[in-house]
Amino acid sequence: MPARRDLLAAGLGLAGLIGARPLLAAQAVLTPWQAAGPFYPVELPLDSDNDLVQVAGRSRPAEGIVTHIFGEVLDRGGRPLRGARVEIWQCDARGRYHHPADRGGRADPDFQGFGAMTTGADAAFRFRTIRPVAYPGRTPHIHFAIRAPGMAPFTTQMYVEGEPLNARDGLFNRIRDPQARASVLVALRPAPEVEAEALAGRFRIVIDHPGA
Q: Where are the domains of the chain?
A: 4-11+27-207
Report how far apart, in Å, the C-alpha atoms of 198 and of each of 91, 100, 111, 113, 169 are: 18, 30, 16, 18, 26
129, 144, 132, 141: which is closest to 195 by C-alpha? 129
- pLDDT per residue over 74-95, tens digit each? 998 899 999 999 999 999 999 9
Identify the pLDDT of residue 209: 78
Assess contact for 71 and 117: CB atoms under 8 A. no
- pLDDT per residue over 49-65, tens digit each? 999 999 999 999 999 99
pTM over 0.85? The answer is yes
Assess contact for 206 and 72: CB atoms under 8 A. no
CA separation for the pair 86, 148 (Å, rounded): 9
Identify the pLDDT of residue 40: 93
Identify the pLDDT of residue 183: 97
Q: Domain 4-11+27-207 class?
A: mainly beta
